[in-house]
Amino acid sequence: MRPLTEADLKPLWELTYKESNPEWKKWDAPYYDHVALTYDAFLKEMGPSLIQQDNRWGLFVKGKLIGTASYYWEHKPSNWLETGIGIYNPEYWNGGHGTIFFKTWIDHLFNTMPLVRVGFATWSGNQRMMRLGEKLGMSLEGRLRKCRFYNGIYYDSIRMGILREEWEQLEVLKRSE
């Protein structure tokens, strides 16, 4: 895991915006439109905002970009940060990569910022993301029922999170095992 560089932009574009219907989009907020972009349009619209940023890092396996971890401020004055992870290459789904990367990302966030809580939002159709949150000790903090409409079905919006003291306690327990 590391901040993205200019050399990472082409592989990131290929994973995220080259196609109009990439496989990953079926799980990552599919109720929002996704539009393919030319590489030039991607560079113009997003390129500078992606390079060497603290809020979006690339996820790499053997030097190959497979996804990103990111965060955004819901309300910076109160240190309310939301985070997420996207593994765009389906070859790396269900192999434990998400768990390793997301745990490392949350460690990084707690170790580098004065956060009280780290959380994320997903939808009830993304069972893998919900399981990932549970595996890492996160709690279900909110469920907005039937507010995400996708393929003719209503899904719930899900909020999960963990407090710093809960995260630190989990780390203490793991070290003592």
pTM of the model: 0.89
pLDDT digits (tens, 9 = 90+) for 34-74: 899 999 999 998 888 899 989 999 999 999 999 999 999 99
- For the cut 70, the answer to whether the pLDDT of residue 176 exceeds it is no
R_g of the chain computed on alpha carbons? 17
Domains and CATH numbers, the chain: 2-176 (3.40.630.30)
pLDDT score for 21? 87
CA nearest to 90, candidates 35, 15, 142, 140: 15
Please say if the pLDDT value at position 129 is more than 70: yes
Give residue 29's pLDDT. Answer: 84
Checking 145-154 for CB contacts under 8 A at 24+ apart, the result is 148/31, 148/123, 148/124, 149/31, 150/30, 150/31, 150/123, 150/125, 151/30, 153/125
CA distance 95 to 61: 12
Mean of per-residue pLDDT scores for the chain: 92
